[in-house]
Amino acid sequence: MNNELIITVISALVAAGSFAAFALPFLNKSEKKEKFRSVIEKRRKALFQATKDGSLNKVSGDSVSAKDSMASFYKLQHLAGRMGEKARDKMLQAGNRDPKAPFKFMIAQGALPIVLCLIAMLFISGSEKEISNGLTMTILLGAAFAGYKLPDVLVKNAIIKRQQEINLAFPDALDMMLICVQGGIGLEQTVDRVAHEVAEHSPVLAEELGILSAEMAMLNDRRQALQDFARRVGSGAGKSFATSLIQAEQYGTSISQAMRVMSDELRDMRMALAEQKAASLPPKLTVPMILFFLPALFIIILGPAGIQASAAGVGGG
């Protein structure tokens, strides 16, 4: 293999990598749009089928409730109580709309402590050093606690990421809704239009708004659709938006005025959050500066003097 062939192969690989890096964002955008459309179409079909079967009340709130869903899939009605409702809310806020998800979550919380305890016992039994009973019990309890909390921690991290994305993109989406509403477009059509507009930038917000538009179009109760939207997003801008619209509809105030006030509040909240992050930056930089910047600075400043002193000592000796 001569040098020219090697250069040609390397150039071809670099060109292919550059093309992939250029085309990948566009492919991701199309995938996000397809996922958004599939979620909305699935929700519309579920609502239409429920309307046709006369069981619309059972599917309001993104799907069946935690109690009905787990009873229908597993026939374990006694497990689908208040814990199931809380688990279902967590799954919805984390973006998991599978009716089986709450049951899987509770199974993981029950099974992982046992698995981690067994793994800890294997390590303890294979250890060459003798471990006291107190330390063994502490390790097993720690493994059981870690196994119980691990699913909850993972779900909470997913919830936080989704809420951060929604809070970041919601003020701009609310401005677009305000323009549409002031232009005379109905609220259902406004939410659907904005959902399609923000699909590339925030697929999470687009999915939630798309589901909201489908429920508002299919359900007779707009208030219930907004409450389900607030339940899915959990907290933050989305929940405040749903609460404001519910109150505007309840007291007969202007929806556009509520949106305008809400948009100003969300922008102020986003600016306050940015200022808070900027204010917390200097304390966070203190430790990296002490560990990385100051030693290099001392070496640069004191290094030449140390070298000269060492050379002078060698010369004098």
pLDDT (tens digit per residue) in 141-171:
998 999 999 989 999 998 888 888 888 888 8
Q: Assess if residue 72 is contained within a domain.
A: no
* Cβ–Cβ under 8 Å, residues 226 and 240: no
Residue 304: is its pLDDT beyond 80? yes
Q: Assess if residue 94 is contained within a domain.
A: no
Q: Give the H/E segment covering residue 214.
A: helix 203-218
pLDDT of residue 32: 56
Tens digits of per-residue pLDDT, 253-290? 788 888 888 888 888 887 888 888 888 888 888 888 88
Longest CA span, the chain: 102
pLDDT of residue 315: 61
Q: How is residue 291 annotated by DSSP?
A: I
Q: Assess if residue 96 is contained within a domain.
A: no
Q: Which region holds residue 252: left if phi is over 0, alpha if psi is between -120 and 50, else beta? A: left
Q: pLDDT > 70: what percent of the chain?
A: 75
Cα–Cα dist 182/22, whole Å:
39
Domain carrying residue 228: 164-277
Q: What is the mean pLDDT of residues 103-129?
A: 86
Cα–Cα dist 266/274, whole Å:
12
Q: Token pair for residue 130?
A: 């003798």
Mean pLDDT of the chain: 77
Q: Assess if residue 170 is contained within a domain.
A: yes
Q: Assess if residue 209 is contained within a domain.
A: yes
Structural domains of the chain, count? 1
Q: Assess if residue 211 is contained within a domain.
A: yes
Cα–Cα dist 91/232, whole Å:
9
Q: Assess if residue 249 is contained within a domain.
A: yes
pLDDT of residue 102: 84
pLDDT of residue 19: 63
Residue 197: is its pLDDT beyond 50? yes
Residue 73: is its pLDDT beyond 80? no
pLDDT of residue 114: 92
Q: 193: helix, coil or strand?
A: helix
Residue 64: is its pLDDT beyond 60? no
* Cβ–Cβ under 8 Å, residues 94 and 158: yes
pLDDT of residue 174: 86
Cα dihedral sign for 136, 138, 141, 146?
Answer: negative
Give the pTM: 0.66
Q: Token pair for residue 254?
A: 């202007």
Tens digits of per-residue pLDDT, 220-237? 778 888 888 888 888 777
Winning range, highest mean pLDDT, from 52-56, 205-209, 253-257: 205-209
Q: pLDDT > 90: what percent of the chain?
A: 3
* DSSP, residue by residue, 216-282: HHH-S-HHHHHHHHHHHH-SSHHHHHHHHHHHHHHHT--HHHHHHHHHHHHHHHHHHHHHHHHHTHH
Question: 144: number of CA atoms within 13 Å, CB side?
Answer: 9
Q: Assess if residue 81 is contained within a domain.
A: no
